[in-house]
Amino acid sequence: MESATLERSATPDFTVIKQRQRATWSAGDYGRIGVTLQITGESLCEALDLRAGERVLDVAAGNGNATLAAARRFCTVTSTDYVEALLAQSQARSRAEGLPVEYRQADAEALPFAAASFDTVVSTFGVMFTPDQQRAADELQRVCRPGGRIGLASWTPDGFIGRLFKVIGRHVAPPPGLSSPAAWGTRGFIERCFGESALRIETATRRFVFRYQSPAHFVDVFANWYGPVLKAFEALDGGRRAALRQDILQLIDAFNVADDGTMKVPSDYLEIVIHRR
């Protein structure tokens, strides 16, 4: 049943979907949310056991959490995203810390690098949102050298963020035929997409805790700055917008472990290390 909910049968128009996605991730200011996730980039780099001097590519890097984590470990880092404003935010962060990073605007489904160019390829909550999932997976494998590593952090289907996207999907239907991004947060998907080229695959369920002043504060921040949520609210009229807000608040209530009026919501994600043959 789970695989049936993660896959859709219709053939999607990836070109149109990608154009809409780029507009979505360019909306708001993802960096305001992204900076709170820095610990996940650090955790992934530790799981990968990065070594100084390794050539690291960060794909769909957003505002650069994994980028900075790898650069802090004295790796030679190239950071890519198809949203130029997010690359600019990451570059400002790297300059503030005096960290050398090369920045390239690039599509995760068509990376502008030769085969086997990098020792390690990473993506934290980025490549999982590509519409053509297999093509993106193939690109990660293509640019990673034999014997190298691919590291991913992806929200799980039944964790808080996975459930949040399901709530949004009930109010604003996703494009026909588009597979769920949360498929990347399942071991089965990873094995299907990477198994043939993998010497071994290591996965661990990790938990990131969203900490906000209150549930309402979380909804306000995401509705103003997080592209997918912002666009969902913009697509609805007043009454349906209020219904979406209420459903998100009910979801938070189901996960919230704080008892002082604040929001403390654990959200599961899958941390993945793929060792290339």
Rounded (10°) CA dihedral 183, 129, 110, 95: -130
Q: Which CATH architecture has domain 2-209+268-276?
A: 3-Layer(aba) Sandwich (3.40)
Contact in structure between 63 and 35 (CB atoms under 8 Å): yes
Q: What is the pLDDT of residue 175?
A: 86
CA 162 to chain CA centroid, Å, is 11
> What is residue 8's predicted lDDT score, i.e. its pLDDT?
43
Residues 6+ apart with CB under 8 A from 59: 80, 106, 108, 111, 121, 122, 123, 126, 127, 139, 140
Per-residue model confidence (pLDDT) at position 9: 44
Half-sphere exposure of 139 (CA within 13 A, CB side): 22
Contact assessment for residue 188 and residue 201, using Cβ atoms and an 8 Å cutoff: no
User: What's the confidence (pLDDT) of residue 3?
Assistant: 45
| 202 touches 267 (CB < 8 A) | no
- pLDDT tens string for the chain (277 positions)? 344 444 444 678 898 998 999 999 999 999 999 999 999 999 999 999 999 999 999 999 999 999 999 999 999 999 999 999 999 999 999 999 999 999 999 999 999 999 999 999 999 999 999 999 999 999 999 999 999 999 999 999 999 999 999 999 999 999 888 899 999 999 999 999 999 999 999 999 999 999 999 999 999 999 999 999 999 999 999 999 999 999 999 999 999 999 999 999 999 999 999 999 9
Residue 10 confidence (pLDDT): 61
Query: What pLDDT does residue 249 have?
Result: 98
For the chain, the domains span 2-209+268-276
